[in-house]
Amino acid sequence: MTRSLMLLGALWLCACAGTTMSAVPKLPTLPERTPSVLHVGTGRAELTMPPGASTFGHALDSRVADGYWTRTYCRVFLFESARGATAQSERVAIIPCELSAISSLLQRKVAERVAALLHPSQIMLTAVHTHAAVGHYFGEGQYVGPVSTRRPGFDEALLEALADSIAHAIEAAHESLRPARLSWRHERDFYCFARNRSLDAYEQNGEAEPPLPSPLPPSAQHCDLSGRKDFRAIDPAIDVLRIDQVDPNHPGRTLGPIGSISLFAMHPTVLSSDNRLFGGDTTGMVNRHVERELRREWAGANPGLARCFDEPKPAGCERQPDPLHGVINTNEGDISPIWSRGDIDEAISFGQRLAEFVWKHHPAPGSGSPESVLDLRYLEDDVRGAKLHDRYGVQHETCTYPELGQGAAGGASDHPTTVAALPLFETDAPRRGRAEGCQGVKRPLLGPVSCLTRSDGAFPAILPLSVVQLDDTLLGFIPTEATVTAGRRITTRMMEVAARHASPATRPKRAVIAGLANSYIQYLATRGEYELQAYEGASTLYGPNENAYFADRMALLTRSLFAPRAERDPAQLGEARRLEFPVRGGRFDRLAEPTGDCVSRKHLRTCTLADGADAPRICMYFVDGGPGDVALRKGPWLRLVQDAQGAPPVRMCRSTGNLADGCDPRGYVDDRGHEFRTRVHDEVDGGYLWSTLFSPDAALWQELGDTRVRLEVGGPAKLHGSAFSRSALPCTCTPREAALCLDGEVVEPLDDLAPPKPRAECGD
Amino acid sequence: MGVLLLCGCSTGVGLAGNHVVHAPRVPSLGLQATSLVNLAVFSGPAISFGLDAQVLERLDHDGDGFSQWRLRTLIGVSQQPQPSEFFIGYEAFLAPALGRIYVSEARPLDLRGGLGVQLGAPIRLASPRPPWRSDDLAALSAYVVPWISGSWFYEDTLDVGAGLSLRLSLWTAVLP
């Protein structure tokens, strides 16, 4: 009896305990940094989750997903010095992810898995900030608790699934390390894609009017730049890092692109909060388009190996090439895309235009130096009550506790929340009270109840900060969304320190913020913006001195990079501290589990959506297993195949119009692209009702010609829709069928859905 | 208003049966009404507090004209299952109570204070729906709630009870 009670007590204690990630001792640092040939490897981590989990980013307005539009990925770029990889500065993994934010718990879980390859201080996970990706993986209570989404909850299985996928991608990147050349291109013409959504707050900074560029760049012709201050009050910088494989025997010769990373300041959020399809929003389009162009270039540089893109991988190919493109969001805190409708079609067209811009800003292959500097400094710092010195040497302190202000409630001005309709939470600033305590003029969001959000673990308090030098550019990795001005003040300090301490040989030309990195403490506003307590200021958790804190710490890391001194550097530099998270492990069923139920898979109908789009859209609905049972998580699950023996997959050239560019050597038309919008509906007899909307653009239809094709659903046995071609489209969808495919509306019982009928009987 | 914006509310009516375990032993039956405020401030079950009122008629000795009543404050946790969850939930309350209760043969009915506990199992009446069809900002749900309770009243009176409630619950967490 006594032992039973003791066991029960121990189990209860375990259930009540949170999650602890152990400290990891620091790696040695090198006394000197010299340029060397870098080796780079890449890996792709699939993050797409089944329906039933919630999206994350719109707080209480984040809907539960019922499907996916674009698959979401992390893309691993592993950089290693050719000298070896025992010191901290000799290896770093930069991993842009199509997620809303990164949790430090996720970063540590990944680090745990790849401990033989990387120290936590060498893992830079960043989020593009799509609000259409999954949640439920944060270790802090406020990000998984009530009001975090419409279906809150921490799901350990989902967290572990994400960490497994990213870790495998890091291992793949390690196995694919090869000599590389880095080429940067830095421009300042990122206009007419984004606008400043918090102009009132921006103007509190008292800086000069945002200038009109002279001469006007081509991008500026797409909008009224001179007439709209919000279009100019942005960060017009775009930085693109291109990574090319080099011939180890002839370092001057490049062998094709390994990948590229683009950095610019803009929320990717065209899609509104009522979106229910997982996806990468506009950055999903950018990544896909640029990767297609990288594949094209790779095939052009390696014509004999283009067949290695075939699936399955042919004999004689060591690995399947997969040049990657990742987007890192910089100081985008108050910068939103210029959007109007907020639907997927607009995200596609906007993303396509942005993708073409990013691709045009890629440096020429091999244009960089054959040798590059790789170095980094990392600090996990407790932000609570942290002392800091501003640029004038005056000491300040951050707040000892985090708090959201009332201005956070209504959401950003371009995506207001549901409660913004209430007078108490309308988005017009100011929302400030009397200056009291360390939070200054901030009025607590919940009034006296806000003390509940101050407890340990409600928000992150130990912040991972890092400065990485890659060739001539400093990347400042911070766990926040800095406004344009806040980010600029940080990078200005970094460059001032670099100018003072760096030797001419290794002095960087540029410093860029890499936001939403390794943790997430919401927004970072300047002191002036903070005083207004608009959305970004109210979401600056640790008070009005937070911007100065980040500038101070990033300056410290930059100085340590160029002039390390043991007596001045913090003792914990490079350490991964012991971290405790209050969320308890457990299954909250956000990650759909396989049921193993017997399912009668069948195709029901394929029809044509006549909704006036540029090209016909094909809707197919079918019965398949539940979200946890279908083979959705590893793409492709849906694809276009030929109506022929063996149903070979359709491959398209996707020509640019310039013959010299060649074809996309992969060219498959499947759900790894952006043409499929797939969702689950309801449980029906025999399984679950699913639909997919195939929305090719006009160019793809043109290229398809009159080839007869079918839509195919993967699984233990393939499921095929009705055959169609450009000249023999399926019958027009009924209004209910159209609603099913477009909006996911609940459909009436299965018996009411028409069986397939021949074209001659359409009666359209 | 700020508190109301935080929470959902539940109201229920039902039948209650109580049995005073004392000399005299008094079985009773009556009506019950409950009103709860549910604060979903933490993950998992909501913190709930509210009031429960019962009027009871003695079942033996030709009744007592509904002379008994109990008034309890309920403070505890309540997990009222959403349409995407398993249809039976749980709740547990601490219940400071005031009651007009049978305490002895000499003074059969008297006003007494006490303390008790109540355990219940809210059973959702609505059909199950998948999570993507049940993420409303606010929703009204109906539950049947069987419950049991035990209360100790000063000086030495144990009152055990059981009942069945029909409860309407407005779930909302319109917390900015």
- What is the per-residue pLDDT for A396? 92
Which member of A51, A52, A419 has the closest CB to residue B176? A419
Which member of B2, B84, B173 has the closest CB to residue A146? B173
Pairing relationship of beta strands A178-187 and A123-127 according to DSSP bridges:
unpaired
The structure's pTM equals 0.92
Tell whether the torsion through CA atoms of A747, A751, A752 and A756 is positive or negative: positive
Q: Which of chain B's residues have a Cβ under 8 Å away from the Cβ of A146? A: 40-43, 173, 175
Contact in structure between A664 and A309 (CB atoms under 8 Å): no
DSSP A269: -
Instruction: Give the residue among B50, B57, B51, B48 at the shortest CA–CA distance from B15.
Output: B57
- Nearest CA of chain B to the CA of A200: how many Å? 22
Find how far residue A432's CA is from the centre of its chain: 32
Rounded Cα–Cα distance for residues A477 and A32 (Å): 22
How far from each other are the two terminal CA atoms of chain B, in whole angstroms? 13
Which member of A145, A150, A417 has the closest CB to residue B42? A145
Closest Cα in chain B to A63: B135
Q: What is the 3-state secondary structure (H, E, C) of A202-261?
A: HHCCCCCCCCCCCCCCHHHHHCCCCCCHHHHCCCCCEEEEEEEEEECCEEEEEEEEEEEE
Are B131 and A52 in contact (CB < 8 Å)?
yes
Are A409 and B130 in contact (CB < 8 Å)?
no
Token pair 């960060």 is found at A235
Mutate to test the interface with B, among A150, A683, A746 (most CBs of B within 10 A): A150
Quick one: residue A239, left, alpha or beta (phi over 0 = left, psi -120 to 50 = alpha)? beta
Rounded Cα–Cα distance for residues A694 and A678 (Å): 9
A410 close to B (CB below 8 A)? yes
Contact in structure between B116 and B154 (CB atoms under 8 Å): no
- What is the per-residue pLDDT for A457? 87
Closest Cα in chain A to B132: A64
Which member of B6, B41, B135 has the closest CB to residue A151? B135
Instruction: Give the residue among A321, A344, A297 at the shortest CA–CA distance from A130.
Output: A344
Mutate to test the interface with A, among B79, B135, B136, B137 (most CBs of A within 10 A): B135
B173 close to A (CB below 8 A)? yes
Which member of B41, B174, B176 has the closest CB to residue A445? B176
Are A64 and B2 in contact (CB < 8 Å)?
no
Angle (CA) B16 B22 B27, round 5°: 30
A279 close to B (CB below 8 A)? no
DSSP A531: H
Are A445 and B40 in contact (CB < 8 Å)?
no
Cβ-based burial of B155 (10 A; exposed 0-12, middle 13-18, buried ≥19): exposed
Rounded Cα–Cα distance for residues A134 and A155 (Å): 11
Angle (CA) A66 A72 A74, round 5°: 150
Closest Cα in chain A to B43: A145
Instruction: Give the residue among A160, A163, A128 at the shortest CA–CA distance from A56.
Output: A128
Residue B174 pLDDT class (50, 70, 90 cuts): low
Rounded Cα–Cα distance for residues A183 and A258 (Å): 12
Contacts of A18 (CB under 8 A, 6+ apart): A139, A457, A580, A581, A582, A583, A584
Rounded Cα–Cα distance for residues A132 and A134 (Å): 7
Q: Which of chain B's residues have a Cβ under 8 Å away from the Cβ of A445? A: 176
- Return the H-helix or E-strand segment holding A482: strand A481-482
- What is the per-residue pLDDT for A163? 98
- What is the per-residue pLDDT for A736? 85
Rounded Cα–Cα distance for residues A457 and A581 (Å): 6
Contact in structure between B122 and B8 (CB atoms under 8 Å): no
Q: Which of chain A's residues have a Cβ under 8 Å away from the Cβ of B42? A: 141, 145-146
Token pair 């766990």 is found at A479
- What is the per-residue pLDDT for A324? 98
Residue B44 pLDDT class (50, 70, 90 cuts): low
Are B132 and A60 in contact (CB < 8 Å)?
no
Contact in structure between A113 and A120 (CB atoms under 8 Å): no
Contacts of A584 (CB under 8 A, 6+ apart): A15, A16, A17, A18, A19, A154
> Residues 141 to 160 of B: which have CB under 8 A from any A CB?
none
Contacts of A510 (CB under 8 A, 6+ apart): A184, A186, A239, A472, A473, A474, A495
Which regions of chain B does DSSP assign to beta strands (E)?
A: 7-21, 26-39, 46-58, 68-79, 90-102, 109-120, 123-124, 138-153, 157-172
Are A449 and B2 in contact (CB < 8 Å)?
yes
Rounded Cα–Cα distance for residues B89 and B85 (Å): 9
- Nearest CA of chain A to the CA of B133: how many Å? 8
For A387, how many CA atoms within 13 A lie in the half-sphere containing its CB? 4
Instruction: Give chain A's length.
Output: 764
A746 close to B (CB below 8 A)? yes
Contact in structure between B31 and B16 (CB atoms under 8 Å): yes
Q: Which of chain A's residues have a Cβ under 8 Å away from the Cβ of B79? A: none
φ and ψ at A28, to 5 degrees? Answer: -65, 150
Rounded Cα–Cα distance for residues A530 and A407 (Å): 10
> Residues 106 to 145 of B: which have CB under 8 A from any A CB?
130-137
Contact in structure between A126 and A63 (CB atoms under 8 Å): no
Could you read off the pLDDT of B100-126 as tens digits, one per residue? 988 777 667 889 999 999 999 999 999
Are B41 and A145 in contact (CB < 8 Å)?
yes
How far from each other are the two terminal CA atoms of chain A, in whole angstroms? 76
Positions in chain A short of pLDDT 50: 1-2, 4-15, 755-759, 763-764
Are A452 and B132 in contact (CB < 8 Å)?
no
Count of A–B CB contacts within 8 Å? Answer: 77
- What is the per-residue pLDDT for A4? 45
B75 close to A (CB below 8 A)? no
Q: Is B153 helix (H, G, I), strand (E, B) or coil?
A: strand
Q: Is A603 helix (H, G, I), strand (E, B) or coil?
A: strand
Which member of B42, B135, B176 has the closest CB to residue A425? B176
Rounded Cα–Cα distance for residues A453 and A445 (Å): 10
* Torsion on CA atoms A741, A744, A748, A753, rounded to nearest 10: 10
Contact in structure between A285 and A674 (CB atoms under 8 Å): yes
Tell whether the torsion through CA atoms of A43, A48, A54 and A55 is positive or negative: positive
Contact in structure between A522 and A546 (CB atoms under 8 Å): no
Pairing relationship of beta strands A523-524 and A481-482 according to DSSP bridges:
parallel
Contact in structure between A533 and A407 (CB atoms under 8 Å): yes
Residue B63 pLDDT class (50, 70, 90 cuts): confident
Could you read off the pLDDT of A445-461 as tens digits, one per residue? 877 777 777 788 889 99
In chain B, the percentage of residues whose pLDDT exceeds 70 is 89
Which member of B3, B6, B131 has the closest CB to residue A151? B131
Q: Which of chain B's residues have a Cβ under 8 Å away from the Cβ of A535? A: none
Which member of B40, B132, B174 has the closest CB to residue A51? B132
Q: Which of chain B's residues have a Cβ under 8 Å away from the Cβ of A417? A: 176
- Nearest CA of chain B to the CA of A636: how many Å? 23
Instruction: Give the residue among B117, B118, B112, B119 at the shortest CA–CA distance from B157.
Output: B112
Contacts of A265 (CB under 8 A, 6+ apart): A190, A194, A234, A235, A237, A329, A330, A331, A332, A335, A484, A487
- Nearest CA of chain A to the CA of B98: how many Å? 30
Contact in structure between A589 and A465 (CB atoms under 8 Å): no
Are B131 and A64 in contact (CB < 8 Å)?
yes
Closest Cα in chain A to B86: A589
Are B132 and A418 in contact (CB < 8 Å)?
no
DSSP A756: P
Q: Is A20 helix (H, G, I), strand (E, B) or coil?
A: strand
Rounded Cα–Cα distance for residues A43 and A324 (Å): 8
Rounded Cα–Cα distance for residues A467 and A718 (Å): 49
- What is the per-residue pLDDT for A14? 46
- What is the per-residue pLDDT for A205? 95
Are A410 and B131 in contact (CB < 8 Å)?
no
φ and ψ at A464, to 5 degrees? Answer: -85, 120
Rounded Cα–Cα distance for residues A353 and A368 (Å): 27
Q: Is A758 helix (H, G, I), strand (E, B) or coil?
A: coil
Mutate to test the interface with B, among A134, A151, A156, A690 (most CBs of B within 10 A): A151
> Residues 78 to 97 of B: which have CB under 8 A from any A CB?
84
- Return the H-helix or E-strand segment holding A694: strand A687-694
- What is the per-residue pLDDT for B40? 72
Q: Which own/partner contact pairs does B92-95 have at CB distance under 8 Å and 24+ positions apart?
A: B92/B117, B92/B118, B92/B119, B92/B120, B93/B48, B93/B117, B93/B118, B93/B119, B93/B120, B95/B52, B95/B149, B95/B151
Q: Which of chain A's residues have a Cβ under 8 Å away from the Cβ of B174? A: 60, 418-419
- What is the per-residue pLDDT for A130? 98
B77 close to A (CB below 8 A)? no
Token pair 């969850």 is found at B85
- What is the per-residue pLDDT for A224? 87
Q: Is B45 helix (H, G, I), strand (E, B) or coil?
A: coil
- What is the per-residue pLDDT for B73? 96
Which member of B43, B130, B135 has the closest CB to residue A63? B135
B174 close to A (CB below 8 A)? yes
Are B176 and A447 in contact (CB < 8 Å)?
no
Q: Which of chain A's residues have a Cβ under 8 Å away from the Cβ of B3? A: 449
- What is the per-residue pLDDT for A471? 94
